[in-house]
Amino acid sequence: MASHLSESEIKKLKKAFLDLDEDGSGEITIDELKSILRDPRLKILENDIDKMLEEFDLDGSGGIDVSEFLILMSSRKNKELKKKIHKAILMRSPIRKAFNEFDKNGDGFITKKEFKVVMRKQKGRYFCIGDQQLDAMLQSYDKNGDGKIDYDEFVLAMTS
C-alpha cells in the first residue's frame, strides 16, 4: 500500500470508505458510487463518472473494495478525482446529512424558517420547545449574525 501515508491517514480513508459503502457490504458497488457521484452539487458529467469508475475498479470486479479505495485516494495523481470523492464523502458524513435535513432548499444555509420547520417536526418526539427557545438557539448558532446558519456554524453547534 502507499507507504507515504501515516496510520492516521489510512484510518481516515478507511472511515471515508465506510461512509460511502451504503449497504455495509465491504465493497462500494458501481451503482452505489454512481448514485454518490450523480449528486448535482458535485457537478460531474455522466461521461466523467464512467471514467472515474474505470479508475477506481482496478481489478474489474464491478465494485471497489477498501484496498482499491486506499490505492486511488493515496495516489499522488488525479487530484481532481480525489477532490470530487472527498467532497462526496463530506456530503455523506452524518453531520452533513443532518445539515441537509435542515437545509430544505439546498442553498447551503439553514434559514430561520427551515430551522423551525425541522425542529417543530421533532417537537414531542424528543423534546418540547417553544418559539422563543428556537429563536434563541438559532441566534446562538448564527455566529456571524447574518440570520442563517451555514455549514461551519452548524458543525460548531453540533460538536460543542
What confidence tier does 128 reach under pLDDT thresholds 50, 70, 90? low
Distance CA(143)–CA(128), nearest Å, equals 25
pLDDT at position 124 over 70: no
Q: What is the mean pLDDT of residues 102-116?
A: 89
One DSSP character per residue, 6-51 reads -HHHHHHHHHHHHHH-TT-SSEEEHHHHHHHHT-GGG---HHHHHH
Both 11 and 86 in one domain: the answer is: yes
Using DSSP's 3-state secondary structure scheme, residue 41 falls into helix
Grid look-up 459503502 returns 21
Whole-number pLDDT of residue 144:
93
Q: Which of 53, 77, 92 is the last residue of a domain?
A: 92
Domain count, the chain: 2
Residue-level pLDDT at 87: 77
Model pLDDT, residue 1? 46
Do 86 and 28 share a structural domain? yes
pTM for this structure? Answer: 0.53
Name the grid cell of 123: 417537537
Question: DSSP of 83-101, one letter per residue?
Answer: HHHHHHHHHHSHHHHHHHH
Q: pLDDT by residue (tens digit) across 131-156? A: 788 888 889 999 999 999 988 788 78
> Could you tell me the residue range of the domain that residue 132 belongs to?
96-159
pLDDT at 143: 92
- Whether 110 and 146 share a structural domain: yes
Percent of the chain with pLDDT over 70: 89
108 and 148 belong to one structural domain: yes
Sign of the C-alpha dihedral computed for residues 62, 50, 71 and 25 taken in this order: negative
Q: Cα dist. 75→3, 56, 133, 153 in Å? A: 10, 11, 49, 32
In a domain, 22, yes or no: yes
Measure the CA–CA gap between 142 and 115, rounded to whole angstroms. 12
Q: What is the pLDDT of residue 123?
A: 61
12-41 pLDDT, tens per residue? 888 888 777 767 788 888 777 777 777 777
- Beta bridge pairs of residue 65: 27
For 51-81, the pLDDT digits (tens) are 777 777 788 888 888 888 888 888 767 677 7
